[in-house]
Structure 1
Amino acid sequence: QMEKAGKKLGMKTAVEIFADRNYEDNGNLVSRSKSNAMITDPEIAKKHVVKMVENQALNCYSGKQIPCEIDSVCLHGDGKSAVKTAKQIKEGLIKAGVILKPLNKLKKFI
């Protein structure tokens, strides 16, 4: 909703996905009160992110994909495996041929 509101106001927006969170079929994050809300395994998080970026779509817990533009990946840094997860995600994205850039270097912001 924030992306739509920003675009409606003529703002440049970046769309962020969460590496370590699961999504409901409506695109909302799975509530943290549910056992499947968080992705704690670095390998699963890597596959989750690479698939979303390659397909430009949210991966829902049910298997459904919701098309969306993806500019940024958020990883919660307070988890036990955050550093390992970040490294694996970066390696996975590079291996998949994704060019990593700061937001201000993306074509849509220049």
Structure 2
Amino acid sequence: MSSIDLNADLGEGFGRWTLGDDEALLDIVTSANVACGFHAGDPSTMHRICDAAVERGVAIGAQVGYRDLAGFGRRRIDYDLTELHDDVLYQIGALEAFCRAAGGQVDYVKPHGALYNTAAVDEGQASAVVAAVRAYDPGVPVLCQPGSVLARLAVAAGLTAVGEGFADRGYRPGGTLVPRTVAGAIVTDPDLVVARAVRMATARQVETADGEIVPCDVASICVHGDTPGAVELAGQVRAGLVKAGRTLAPFVAWS
């Protein structure tokens, strides 16, 4: 495929606390994963991001997470699965209100942080996410790790699973992410991040922290909004992908 999507996590401030330069990133990315108020974000931030994304033609994804503002959604929680289902559905619905007010819609759903990592391997939590998305709209895709439990269950339930790669995160041999508590979890060297993004987009591969080359069949590449120098890094990744012959466009707009 000649097209590739570039996404970033946005709207992750809360109240007077700000994180990242959302406006600048929206000028670079093609899809925005918008925090829905549980791990980060608040109504005014969601409103602002949806307005700005629609104005720029950037696709909007509900970035749903654990109810864990203090831990930024990066601590695993052993949820009651019915409660997790309802929390995910609630977050999608909250973002949808601001999308509609801006003249847009929730284009896809992406779990955040510990929920993303847990749903990649845990059938219970993955099934709760899948059921919540189906309850909202079975036509909405799920952005997730390719080959994960979440991807498999989403497809089995009739949803579309869209593979995502992380240019600025370390990988383990099984294709899962290196935990943030372990050295090598975050990749910050711009040249290396760009090279990894290009390799994902062109060869559908990624190099693990151990130097192994593993498959990484992705349609979207993420640069985290809270990675140091995220705006400049995202700009370099975009430029590198274009130089490699890829057309940047939201995956939800591909024909």
- Residue 197 of structure 2 aligns to a residue in which SS? helix
- Residue 206 of structure 2 aligns to a residue in which SS? strand
Contact 1:50 1:93 in 2 (8 A): yes
- Residue 15 of structure 1 aligns to a residue in which SS? strand
Root mean square deviation, CA, Å: 1.3
Contact 1:18 1:74 in 2 (8 A): yes
1:68 CA displacement:
3.4
C-alpha distance in 2 between matches for 1:77 and 1:38: 13
Q: Which has the higher strand share?
A: 2
Where in structure 2 are the equivalents of 1:1-110 lying within 5 Å?
1=148, 2-107=150-255
Q: Percent identity?
A: 34
Deviates more, 1:33-42 or 1:54-63: 54-63
Gaps of 5+ in 1: none
Contact 2:170 2:177 in 1 (8 A): yes
| 1:14-38 Cα deviation digits (max 9, x unpaired) | 1111111010001111111112110
| 1:19-78 Cα deviation digits (max 9, x unpaired) | 110100011111111121100122211111111211112321222222232111111111
Q: TM-score, normalised by structure 2?
A: 0.40
Larger Rg: 2
- Residue 22 of structure 1 aligns to a residue in which SS? coil
C-alpha distance in 2 between matches for 1:25 and 1:69: 15
**Whose relative contact order is higher, 1 or 2, with alpha carbons under 8 Å and at least 6 apart?**
1
C-alpha distance in 2 between matches for 1:7 and 1:49: 25
Residues 1:76 and 1:101: Cα distance change in structure 2 (over 3 Å)? same
Contact 2:165 2:216 in 1 (8 A): no
C-alpha distance in 2 between matches for 1:33 and 1:104: 33
C-alpha distance in 1 between matches for 2:197 and 2:222: 10
